[in-house]
Amino acid sequence: MKRLRQSAAAVAALALLMYVCAAADARLTLHGRVTDENGLPVGDAQVKLEVPGGLAITAVSDDAGFFSLPNLSPGEYTVRVEKPGYFVLANQKIQLAPDNAEFTFTLNHEEEVREKVDVTVSENRIDPTSMPSTAALSAKDILDIPVPSSHDLQQSLVAMPLVVRDNSNVLHVPGRATRRRCIYWTGWT
Compute the Cα dihedral for 120, 123, 124, 128 and give only its sign.
Answer: positive
Bridge partners, residue 79, by sequence: 49, 92
Is residue 63 a contact partner of residue 41, using CB atoms and an 8 Å limit? Answer: yes
Residue 19 backbone class (left: φ over 0; alpha: ψ -120 to 50; beta: rest): alpha
pLDDT above 80 for 151: no
CB atoms within 10 A of CB 118: 4
The SS3 of residue 165 is strand
Kindly state the DSSP code that residue 30 receives in the 8-state scheme. E
Compute the Cα dihedral for 89, 91, 95, 82 and give only its sign.
Answer: positive
Is residue 69 a contact partner of residue 56, using CB atoms and an 8 Å limit? Answer: no
pLDDT band at 185 (very low <50, low <70, confident <90, very high): very low
pLDDT tens, residue by residue, 66-78 = 999 998 889 899 9
- The mean of the pLDDT values for the chain is 76
Q: Which CATH class is domain 22-107?
A: mainly beta
- CA 99/CA 103 separation, integer angstroms: 12
For CATH 2.60.40.1120, the residue range(s) in the chain are: 22-107
Bridge partners, residue 41, by sequence: 35
Residue 153 backbone class (left: φ over 0; alpha: ψ -120 to 50; beta: rest): alpha
Number of H helices, E strands in the chain: 3, 9
CA dihedral (145, 146, 147, 149) in degrees, to 10, reads 90
pLDDT at residue number 20: 42
pLDDT above 90 for 81: yes
pLDDT tens, residue by residue, 29-80 = 999 999 999 999 999 999 999 887 778 999 999 999 999 999 888 989 999 9
pLDDT band at 148 (very low <50, low <70, confident <90, very high): low
pTM, two decimals, is 0.48
SS3 content of the chain, % helix, strand, coil (to 5): 20, 30, 50
